[in-house]
Amino acid sequence: MLKDIHHKIDSLFPEMVETRRYLHQYPEVSFKEVKTAKYIADFYEELQIPYQAKIGGNGVIATLKGGKPGKTVALRADFDALPIQDEKDVPYKSKVDGVMHACGHDGHTATLLMLAKTMKSFQEDLPGTIEFVHQHAEEYAPGGAKPIVESGALDHVDAVFGTHLWATTPLGVMQTSKNVFMAGADRFEITIQGEGGHGAYPHETKDAIVIASQLITQLQQIVSRRIDPLETAVVTIGIFEAGDAFNIIADKAKLVGTVRYLNTDIQEEVITEMEKIIKGVCVTNDASYTFDYVKGYPPLVNHEQEAELVLEASKNIDEIHTAEEVVPVMGGEDFTYYTIAKPGAYFFTGAHKEGNDYPHHHPKFDIDERALPIAAKTLIEAYFLYQKKTS
């Protein structure tokens, strides 16, 4: 039956591409994906697969109950976009100003929809039940996975699998980990209140820009000088806002950034060190400050047995020539909430597009659409292997 399923997926490739490109042209940012959620719900309505909408927000979950007994397995795809202007010169370029699918979620959605359409044709021979989980708001914490899990909609699920079309990995390569796979991702904001004045009389001021600059330099020493070199952490300042004119010393500065980590003990150590540095620099310069630290997605940890199933599944897919275990990447993913609640695994499906070397979240990001059926085949192969191993 699996060969027939593969053939069916291949036959749906043109529709898969058409669906992905339609979604690419009409993206919606996190928590505002109303039209996208309706598009997904309408698709399942037409397929006559029962579904629930507005799960944990804009989430949609469709349920395909097979004709044979078995476990219930969730397959997840996210569908939100990013506040980025699409700069690609392609016919399917985003038609929404300032919003773009710059991370492949349009491809994830098209993959899962076509997989659902495929499996509907094999429903009577399907062991167990597939929950097609279409998740909103992966890009912006607190995200969509957490409220979906908290809604109880997946309480009955036995395992969960998901994939990310990974634009920096070659087509035909599948990557995963049997342990920590992706980093925890936090956000922080520091506001420094100094005392402004004329640019010609700096001695009469407390220069917020100079103070913030000292902070930036010292914050970088947390990773280079205060964290065990055998541990992993990142402290990045992404926003530095200050000043209104070339001849005025700024009284206020704002720094916004992210912390990435693999170990929660390191996360707490970074926070403690940040607090000490910020306080020390500001006290020394006689300035006041606020420090707002928001803990985001925890590290994504795969379950070993489910990750092994993904690696085994890849052997049954002709288009995959390399399946490998990799070290963790420092990007964040709220799929972690599923693997905290249930056994499961997440993996990367290589989707590098020849001639397009732009990474995720770049205005010219794109994927090789031939990766979509590979992702679909890997997900369903993992599903069947799980059924076999747990029966």
Catalytic residue ranges: 80, 138
Measure the CA–CA gap between 199 and 196, rounded to whole angstroms.
9
∠ at Cα 23 (18, 28), nearest 5°?
Answer: 175
The β-bridge partners of 161 are 75, 345
Measure the CA–CA gap between 250 and 51, rounded to whole angstroms.
55
The β-bridge partners of 218 are none
Pick the closest to residue 76 from 346, 373, 340 (CA basis): 346
What single-letter amino acid sits at 56?
A: G
Q: If residue 70 lies in a helix (H) or strand (E), which one and from where to where?
A: strand 68-78
Cα–Cα distance list, 154 to 76, 157, 183, 321, 378 (Å): 11, 5, 24, 33, 21
What 8-state DSSP symbol labels residue 391?
-
Measure the CA–CA gap between 193 and 206, rounded to whole angstroms.
9
Sheet holding 173-176, edge to edge: 51-55, 59-65, 127-135, 68-78, 159-166, 344-350, 173-176, 322-325
**Beta pairing, strands 233-242 & 159-166:** unpaired
H helices present in the chain, as ranges: 2-11, 13-25, 34-47, 105-120, 145-150, 208-221, 264-284, 304-314, 336-341, 371-390
